[in-house]
Amino acid sequence: MSTTYQQDLFAGKTALVAGATQGIGAVIANQLAAMGARVVALGLGQGDGTLSPAVEVREADVTRQDDLDRVLADLPALDIVFNCAGIIKRGEEHDVEVFQRVLEVNLTGTMRVCAAVRGRLKATRGCIVNTASMLTFFGGGLVPGYAASKGGIGQLTKSLAIAYAADGIRVNAIAPGWIATPLTQALQDDPARSGPILARTPLGRWGTPQDVAQAAVFLCTPAASFMTGVILPVDGGYMVS
């Protein structure tokens, strides 16, 4: 864990991270646990082996209300909720059924989790962080479903920030840019495609899951107590270049 944050900052807090058994979600779950939180990770399967032993894993599909009801049954209070569950089907999303599935996981799944935890977060005046994307702000020819879902996450985040404020719940989002994960490995390995990406990125490198996690966790800290409805880019400046 980076030394950016004190290790006991979330001591006594309970965090739920949906889509946390691999990738960015797993890094966020690990960081929250390292900072003292009890962390419950939701995902399909037990993950890729990167989760800390301190993180409790529960299998759940965010598209199934019965799954969420089951895993939340013994969590009467929550302080922090991250929505990281998502899929992308490059080149397949022009098929309407694939398009619909991507939206069901990425967008409706996020709303389903937010609605399910609202009462618990009201009790603690907690916070939600959703996962948007640079494609929240512009389109992608190979990924219309992903781009549409992430655009929807932006508007959902703003809408819930307004609706949940009366409950004392803050709702924000992170918007990762080009991040070095297994999903982008093919791009990283292809100089013809990675070259233009790095040329447009002012900081001149791929982002890391840790870069995203640091910013995401910031939105849950006391330092962000007057922030809600924010979509925070973590992209090395790509979107403004």
Active site residues: 146
Handedness of CA 19, 205, 134, 240 (dihedral sign): positive
Distance of CA 40 to the CA centre of its chain: 14
Shortest CA distance to 130 belongs to which of 163, 175, 89, 164? 175
CB of 200 closer than 8 Å to CB of 238? yes
Shortest CA distance to 104 belongs to which of 85, 118, 119, 90? 85
Token code pair at residue 169 = 């719940």
φ, ψ of residue 207 in degrees (nearest 5): -75, 165
- DSSP E strands: which ranges in the chain? 14-18, 38-43, 56-59, 80-83, 127-131, 170-176, 231-234
> Residues 6 or more apart from 34 whose CB is under 8 A from it?
1, 7, 52, 54
Shortest CA distance to 74 belongs to which of 127, 37, 120? 120
